[in-house]
Amino acid sequence: MPSITGVIEKPYGWIVTIEVIEMKQLSTYKKEAKTFQKKHSLKLHQAQLLIAQDYGFDTWPDLVHACENQIIAETPTPQVDMFAVENIAIEDSIEPESTSDCDIEIEREDDLLVEVKERVLNNKRKLVAIGQDFATFEPTATGLKKSILDATQPVRTLFSEAGFHGYDSQGQGPDHKIIKKAIFISPDQIIETTVSLYRPNTKSGDPRMWFRGLGKFAEAGAQVSLSIAGDDLLLINLSNVDLHEDNSPVIAKLLELIPNDSSVAQELLEKLKVLARGEPLKATVEGSTAVGRAIETALGIDINSSKEPDYNGIELKSGRGGNNRTTLFAQVADWKQSPLDKSVKILDQFGYYRGDDFKLYCTISARKPNSQGLQFNYDEKADLLTETNTDFGDVAVWPGKLLRSRLLEKHKETFWIKAESIDIDGVEHFKLISVTHTKNPMSNQLMPLLRDGVITMDHLIKRRAKDGRVSEKGPLFKMNKRDLSLLFPEPKQYHLLDMDKV
């Protein structure tokens, strides 16, 4: 049966959403469809339709959409640090405004309506699709009344990495205030305003910002994006706009800012076109790396453990197809900051025997602890991703800056190659089918995606019984292929046999 959603309205428009019937994971429905397909000799789309209808949906896409909504509903919108908000002094505001714009007297306590969360998520996908990095903030009733916003870590990171503003080098007090141009963009108009960037004299001078007229643009509890275009700061209220609508003034303006240099990509595509039209590529190794090894060998790329991209700045990611998780990059923790400062110590503390070998093969997510009690926690203020255990405490630490730089180092430009596996005389071969081309990942989205459990990490640590040697193949940071649109601008897809875009 499909999930039934009930809503309860509270004062000031806040809504509690209740999931009465819980959906299964999409992968479970896919397995059921494949089993049903084989049992009754059907085509896959026929089996999927029948499975969807058996669960009360009209079509398979309806079931898929319900599963996606279930994930959205289970991922809470992060609450604002209310301790910081409530302790903001009115004198922190360098340019206080009239409070008449703010009608809400209470702060948001409940999660947002699923429809709003879905709209915000889809708007984020669109911003990423057009190559516009961004950070989001949530204005609070207190902040709107005091004309003060906390410049959170994602906001500071966006400003710093774009060269827009650096709070670290800014002095405290009115004399060091910086004012820049900002633009409110809504479906029907574009309004120029100003943003004040400052650190107050009070307390430790926590970074603050304020946009003149914000109360008329966004209500308390709204999810507002910040993106940078040259020296201007662009604001979009993601809670009440649809960036997918035709002729959006927001998208029209942002598309003008995206550079386009594809000379190296065209060269590589031509080489892959030749390989696709030739004989199938023979596998030289077994396992998940077989496709990549075969392609790299055919392209004349040396097989090594370098962290550099594979082909003149372009990373190659290859697979046999499907919607499984894909590896973004491998990155060990910052051992100097980690309580357990070596992989072997993590293995000794949380490992288990599989046959003769002692292993720790598991996935770490921020959503919930795994069977070893391991889970991620992201400290936004410190910009630190910490692996924790329910009993042991903190295990290992990754600074956000380290992970963002690793993402940009590995995936500034990437070819995601799909190949078909073919058996020839008992030996696996690969026929190249298509390429998905991505560029310029939105590095500022990495930590929020880790915080929300969209990106996970795999430990692959093993002590071999025969010699006691410990090897670490990870930690591998991964995400589902269907979620790549939350991190990478809109991909270009090509069929390799004719080179036309899909």
Looking at residue 362, the DSSP 8-state letter turns out to be E
Residue 501 lies in a domain: no
Instruction: State the CATH number of the domain containing residue 473.
Output: 3.30.70.3570
Residue 374 lies in a domain: yes
- Give the residue numbers spanning the domain of 343: 263-495
Looking at residue 343, the DSSP 8-state letter turns out to be H
> Both 273 and 351 in a single domain?
yes
> What's residue 167's pLDDT?
94
> Both 308 and 444 in a single domain?
yes
> Both 58 and 105 in a single domain?
no
Residue 333 lies in a domain: yes
User: End of a domain among 74, 101, 123?
Assistant: 74
> Both 213 and 89 in a single domain?
yes
> What's residue 214's pLDDT?
94
> Both 232 and 326 in a single domain?
no
Edge-first strand order for the sheet with 393-399 is: 374-379, 384-389, 393-399
> Both 51 and 187 in a single domain?
no
> What's residue 19's pLDDT?
40
Distance CA 443, CA 334 (A): 19
> Both 423 and 280 in a single domain?
yes
> Both 269 and 146 in a single domain?
no
> What's residue 355's pLDDT?
84
User: End of a domain among 44, 74, 104?
Assistant: 74
Distance CA 502, CA 493 (A): 5
SS (H, E, C) 22-67: CCCCHHHHHHHHHHHHHHHCCCHHHHHHHHHHHCCCCCHHHHHHHH
> What's residue 79's pLDDT?
63
Residue 116 lies in a domain: yes
486 forms beta bridges with none
> Both 104 and 138 in a single domain?
yes
Could you report the average pLDDT of every consecutive run of 10 residues in the chain (502 residues)? 40 37 76 88 88 87 78 67 53 53 61 84 86 88 88 91 90 92 86 93 86 92 89 90 80 63 78 90 82 87 65 79 76 96 95 91 94 94 94 96 90 84 89 85 91 94 90 90 83 73 44
> Both 151 and 92 in a single domain?
yes
Among 274, 271, 276, 270, which residue's Cα sits nearest to residue 430?
A: 276
> Both 102 and 194 in a single domain?
yes
Residue 500 lies in a domain: no
State the total domains in the chain: 3
Q: What is the CA radius of gyration of the chain?
A: 25
Residue 141 lies in a domain: yes
Distance CA 162, CA 389 (A): 35
Residue 337 lies in a domain: yes
> Both 301 and 345 in a single domain?
yes
User: End of a domain among 255, 281, 303?
Assistant: 255
Residue 402 lies in a domain: yes
